[in-house]
Structure 1
Amino acid sequence: MRKAAPVLPRKLHGGHFAFMRALAQGLDERASWDRYLRLEGEHADLRTVRRTIAWIRDEFAAAARRENKPGTARLILLDPDRFAAAPKQPTLAEFAAERGLEDFSEAEQLEAYEEAYPPGGQGGRGKAAPGRGGQGGAVPPTRRSRVIARQLEALRWLQDLVAQDPRPGDRVSAWLNPTLAKRLERAGVTTLLNLVERINGIGARWWVPVPGVGELKASRVLEWLQANEAVLGLRVGRHVLQPRSQLTPVVLAGVVPAATALRPFEKFLVPPALDGRAGGFRAPLEQSVLLARNDPEAIGAWLASKSAGRGNALSATQRAYRKEAERLLLWAVLERQKALSSLTVEDVNGYRSFLADPPAAWCGPRHHQRWSPLWRPLEGPLSAVALRHALTILKGLFAFLMSQGYVTGNPFAAFALPSHSPRPLGSRRTLTFSQWDHIEALLDQQVDTEAGRRLRRAMRWLYATGLRLAEITSVKCEDLEKIDYRATDGTMATDWMLSVVGKGGRSREVPIPRDLVDELGDELARHGFEREVSAPGNRGIRVMARFHTGFESGFNSDFVVGLDTGPQCPLSWRPVPWSASGLYQAIKAFLAHAADSLEGSDAQHLKEASTHWLRHSHASHALQGRAGQTPVPLQVVQNNLGHASVGTTSLYLMTERDERIRAMRGFWHSRGAP
């Protein structure tokens, strides 16, 4: 049986002592909680408050016993309310009026008063006779008030003894409400340092992936961290205070400072001694046709040479190439303590081993963006295919640097690439027809909200077109064109074509189902745009736009100034494009949800699925064809996918294992096989 993890005690802080002092003096429990303990992050009903009071008293008493103060321990556990307060006694004037003694002398009034309220009477709770002039005199303390006074004194002594300040390595369970702390720990947030890193790394909606933690609890946690910022030495960034859609690139760029540490390429500070100015294999400056002075600049020139001529935005190819060069540069400087232009064949061998088993500190989930403190250059060990791909790209990097006269050798050229066993495209990464039908049924059940309709639009467009993730998030309304053509029966028909710029800057046209374009038109009209998708007023709007229902009432932060929309466009604002990472995460989450209603291998298959599986499924399903449906010609699917070679597309014909076995069984039986 697995041994349960030890339960670590919560720690006492100044707020606990302030809370108990307030209670000892008779203040309301809930009001005292809201004032001193609300920031522990959990809404408190009276049961929670009283459980916390009992826990604090027990902790106080245990601390007193550890200091060999058993009397103080017992005192802390006393409830002052057990001792009734002394009944209120009248003043001398009130007593005289009540008894009809107004015309008596003051001495006679005092004598009668002391007879009615003898000093030290009523179980030791009596008061001294009121002074002259009808005002009450000094009142001896009651037993209850004496207990309260001694408890307050004991609390001050204990606070100096045991109250602590939070530290980054402390577990969240030591400081936050136990229920909240358990939810955070189940989500992998175990320490206060983890918590701050999670918040800074994700931003305002950091709490969404933590089951049971909503916006209110998250705001209290944030307040607590801000209140303890000085003693913790951890700062929650200002970008956390605003939704991600409202943050400018300048703000995001400032979240993580540039440093000689695990940073993206654009924020990695290479020490001058390792920047390649004096690289071991640098060619003479007069032989180089690059203006690059150092290795990072040379990498930048190589990336620029891969540009498809679409402005400053990096293409998908450039981003893939930057990732590999970035990893190698970080490894060379941080792990090998060498300039990139000083790497040898032996270093390349070491780098291969590194990629096959990278340290945990280098790894993190792929969805963390480059501005985030949680960004890491790797997800984990590279597969044989990914390793071969990485080394091939780096071999090309050094080949470029050699051809430009920047370095004298290519350490990757002599290195044998890992063996590669070709497998059919989409092998084991293709949905079956029944799995896609299950997904379609769930999409029809989506809640009719902008986000739900957007997810449905994304999945259906990806499946219907076979576009890549970067392609589908880039296309705009003006890329759609209505086409008149002659149908198979000879009549004229109308449909749509989508112009796409794919890998290597190659353009192609992909047919689009009319019903999908009509749905997009409905969404445009719903948000105040023209229903005709290709209308001039819709120029600049992405097909995968993030619309917002509050748009018609005025400017909304989910909208940004559009690019030049031309004088014919009546609107000056455009919906924010759905980012590739946001779309990827949304589809992954939906597919995981779809898997919950399945069992066995189907469920496991959908849990592994991602956006690219829809591209594979498009190809496989189109080429195979459903029962009673004519398969799509190979050349048509090749064009949809943007493959340079029809041979590449033909590999999808091999992805349906069961279909191939059934076909061969018919052949075997025709030859009399058993």
Structure 2
Amino acid sequence: MKKNEAPRKLHSGHFAFMRALVQGLDEKSSWNRYLHLEGEYTDLRTVRRTIAWIRDQFAAAARRENKPGTARLILMDAERFAAAPALPTLAEFAAANGLEDFSEEEQLEAYQDAYPQKEKGGGQGGGQGGGKYGGSRGAGRPSRRARLVEHQLEALRWLQGLVAQDPKPGDSVAAWLNPSMATRLERAGLTTLAALVGRINGVGARWWAMVPGVGEGKAARIVEWLQANEALLGLRVGVHVAQPRMQLASATLEAVVPAATAIRPYEKFVLPGGLDGRAGRFRAPPEKCLLTAGNDHEAIGAWLASKQPASGKAALSATQRAYRKEAERLLLWAVLERKKALSSLALEDAAAYRDFLADPPVAWCAPRHHQRWSPLWRPLEGPLNPMTLRQSLIVVRTLFAFLVRQGYLVGNPFAAVAIPVHHPPRPLGSSRALTFAQWDHIDALLERHGETEADRRLRRGMRWLYATGLRLAEITSVRCEDLTQVDYRAADGSTASHWLLAVIGKGNRSREVPVPAEFVEELGDELARHGFERQVSAVSNRGIHVMSRFDDERKRPAAWSASGLYQAIKAFLAQAAEGLDGADALQLKKASTHWLRHSHGSHALQGREGQAPVPLQIVQNNLGHVSVGTTSLYLTTERDERLKAMRGFWKSR
């Protein structure tokens, strides 16, 4: 055992397995029944190593109790002692020796002469089936092997009462799991059983995907052991873990985390009676309020509803989700940290909230890929940088301005809070865009990535994002009917055909973005592969998302979620970084879906060697920018020319 490493603990399964071995039961079935968590029985090295460890632990416990004899007894192998030969019954002996017509007393006397090791006497009522020698073979004094087995079983019962333990939530995973498996879990930050169950419940069926070295088989054994020990641990593995997330009903996911007055998403946050805002310090007279909202939670809901796009879609728009995030943070902070209703916040509270966002407690932070149904979800990723903090405070100020205009509040405490200064934006492509060489490396890896449905879907997602410059929310929402084939006049005067994709972007603004014809053909091939019309624009394909998952038995494929696409691309880029060195590897490790959008803008405006740059207005349309000034931030040509010119000037001095 390494220094400071938690010692492994013995549980009832270890004792049950050893009792089975001592009694000569089948080793394989006993292993699979009691110690399946340790690994597959086919890994004989693990089996032998584990058996040796258990015996050593048993012997060490006996020595600690000053029972050296018991320690030696535990280590003895009963198989070394041959079993006593099977002896005939009295009736069999009599028949074999022609003594059927003799009296039982005479038969017994002859039997004892033939087998002198047997005890004398006791032949009462023997006959053909009873008595000491009547019906059982080998009855008499137990063999040496049998006596050893009996003593070992007795020793095991004594040891189990002495050293067997029950698992506890705070125990190290190394105390209960196979050492190699525990090491892999610890490297992934899962150091205790409580942390392990939390990760499993927080991620679901594929919780093991982010734990290198733990595959589906090992993960299943871990979950099986945790479920078997739920009562002892007081920790429950949720039913949602048994199925892939895409196969779960929304109600199942929603039930994973109950509503409570705790760090919860807005829709599950329960306002306590005294802090719900009904009697908020800065509530306006109810008769002058234009909202039907009775508390702060409902008032936020009214504000979010006012941002609903004219299309009337039930799902929240990207703007609504962004606004909900900011209102949610403030509501949670006001109640849980400040112990105030949102409608009781004063100027001092607003300033304190600004400071909170700049340095939030660890308990409020988690990676953003944890979805809202997950117990691992948190409202923040970490401290907000000045630009993000500025945007957050502007949104909150907008919320309070709305509530004041509607007569819900009498004032806006955030109106007087100093907001971080806005610095001139740096070129968008300067730090969060790939170089041409980096993209070519990624594209080559995509080409060789594989031909499973998931491989093709990832390839489709990354190439479409780079080629079109769409946002993550946009690419995951477009459907087959949004693609239109149009004819146009080519540069040489001939008529050509191409595809346009209709997109609804920020602010509910629509635009049409060109899409490579080969991409549409590949989408048609995927549709045909799964029994749909090859022609993408066919009526029967209406409603099918461009980023659909064709990996289940549903009649209509489900849309690939924005978070699912994001995580898949992040994982692929991390793998792509392994084939690079230095700055290139660091760039790819940091890259995300939005980098592909930045790369589209930067590469299109720069133009590859031998290719003309794309006009600024066309790139502006592709990216969905309201202002051409925003798109021009991708341009670095003018900056580079100025630097080269000044360098020449400086050298002349």
Specify the code of the residue in structure 2 equivalent to 1:455. Answer: L
Q: More displaced, 403-412 or 46-55?
A: 46-55
Q: Secondary structure in 2 aligned to 1:208?
A: helix
Q: Please list the CA deviations of residues 513-534 of structure 1 after superposition, one character each: whole Å capped at 9, or x if unmatched.
A: 1111111112112222222211
Tell me what 1:541 maps to: 544
User: For structure 1, which segment, 145-154 or 477-486, has the greater mean C-alpha deviation from structure 2 after superposition?
Assistant: 145-154
- Which residue of 390, 413, 416 corresponds with 1:414? 416
Q: Which residue of 1 aligns with 2:145?
A: 144
Q: 1:133 — aligned with what?
A: 127
- Is 1:285 matched up with 2:286? yes
CA distance in 2, matches of 1:359, 1:216: 37
Three-state SS of the structure 2 residue aligned to 1:459 is helix
Check the 8 A contact 1:30/1:46 in 2, yes or no. no
Name the structure 2 match of 1:643: 625
Q: Which stretch shifts more, 514-523 or 317-326? A: 514-523
Conserved 8 A contact 2:293-2:299? yes
Residue matched to 1:599: 581
Equivalent residue, structure 1, for 2:171: 170
Instruction: Pick which of 75-84 and 532-541 moved more.
Output: 75-84
Match of 1:323 in 2: 325
CA distance in 2, matches of 1:624, 1:484: 27
- Is 1:42–1:177's contact at 8 Å kept on the other side of the alignment? no
Q: Which amino acid aligns with 2:158?
A: W
Q: TM-score scaled by structure 2?
A: 0.93
Contact 2:31–2:41 under 8 Å retained in 1:
no
> In 1, are the aligned partners of 2:37 and 2:178 still within 8 Å (CA)?
no
Matched, 1:471 2:474: yes
For residue 430 of structure 2, the aligned residue among 427, 432, 438 is 427
1:77 aligns with 2:75: yes
Cα 1:355–1:361 shift into 2, 3 Å = same
Counterparts of 1:354-503 in structure 2, within 5 Å, are 354-421=356-423, 422-503=425-506
1:448-480 per-residue CA deviation (whole Å, 9 max, x = no partner) reads 121111111111111111110000111111111
Q: Distance in 2 between the 1:246 and 1:672 partners?
A: 67
Distance 1:167 1:41 in 2: 22
Alignment partners' CA distance in 2, 1:117 and 1:317 = 95
Q: Is the 8 A contact 1:42 1:217 kept in 2?
A: no
Secondary structure of residue in 2 paired with 1:511: strand
From the superposition, tell whether residues 673 and 492 of structure 1 become closer, same or farther in structure 2 (CA, over 3 Å): farther
What is the distance in 1 between the residues matched to 2:276 and 2:92?
93
Letter in structure 2 aligned against 1:620: S
- Match of 2:644? 665
Gaps of 5+ in 2: 134-138
Instruction: Decide whether the 8 Å contact of 1:466 with 1:615 is kept in 2.
Output: yes
Q: Hey, what does 1:253 align to over in structure 2?
A: 254
Q: 1:532 corresponds to which residue?
A: 535
CA distance in 2, matches of 1:88, 1:490: 103
Identity %: 70
> Quick one: structure 1 residues 667 and 181, their matched pair in 2 at CA, closer, same or farther if it must change by over 3 Å?
closer
Q: Which amino acid aligns with 1:542?
A: H
Q: 1:392 to 1:141 in 2, by over 3 A?
A: same
Q: Which whole-Å CA distance do the structure 1 matches of 2:12 and 2:281 have between them? A: 59
Q: Distance in 1 between matches of 2:601 and 2:212?
A: 37
Partner secondary structure for residue 190 of structure 1 = coil
Write out aligned runs for 1:10-29 (5 A).
10-29=8-27
What is the root-mean-square deviation of aligned Cα atoms in Å?
2.3
- Partner residue, 1:229: 230
**Separation in structure 2 between the aligned mates of residue 208 and residue 404 of structure 1, nearest angstrom:** 48
Any unmatched runs of 5+ in structure 1? 120-125, 551-555, 560-572
Name the amino acid aligned to 2:627.
S
SS of residue matched to 1:195 = helix
* Match in the other structure for 2:341: 339
Name which of structure 1's ranges 480-489 and 263-272 shifts more when overlaid on structure 2. 480-489
Pair 671,601 (structure 1): closer, same or farther in 2 beyond 3 Å: closer
State the Cα distance separating 1:232 from its structure 2 match.
1.4
User: CA–CA distance in 1 between the matches of 2:519 and 2:416?
Assistant: 51
**Equivalent-residue separation in structure 1 for 2:19 and 2:317 (angstroms):** 63
- 2:513, 2:622 within 8 Å by CA — same for their partners in 1? yes
In structure 2, relative to structure 1, the CA distance for the partners of 1:169 and 1:670 (3 Å cut) is closer
| Distance of 1:27 and 1:651 partners within structure 2 | 75
Q: Distance in 2 between matches of 1:153 and 1:416?
A: 76
Shift of 1:5: 5.8
Q: Structure 1 residue 367: deviation in Å? A: 0.8
- Looking at structure 2, the residues matched to 89 and 475 of structure 1 have their Cα atoms a distance apart, in angstroms, of 83
Alpha-carbon distance, 1:229 to partner:
1.3
Answer whether contact 1:42 1:180 (CA < 8 A) is retained.
no
Deviation at 1:112, TM superposition (A): 4.4
CA contact (8 A) 2:28 2:41 kept: no
Which of 64, 67, 72 is the aligned partner of 2:65? 67
| Cα distance in 2 between the residues matched to 1:522 and 1:84 | 70
The structure-2 alpha-carbon separation of the partners of 1:5 and 1:426, relative to structure 1 and needing over 3 Å to count, comes to farther
**Cα distance in 2 for residues equivalent to 1:623 and 1:302:** 39
Render the CA deviation track for 1:280-302: whole Å, top value 9, x for unaligned.
11111122211111111111111
Q: For the residues of structure 2 that align with 1:457 and 1:188, how far apart are their CA atoms?
A: 33
Task: Tell me the secondary structure at the aligned position of residue 413 of structure 1.
Answer: helix
Aligned partners of 2:172 and 2:192 also within 8 Å: yes
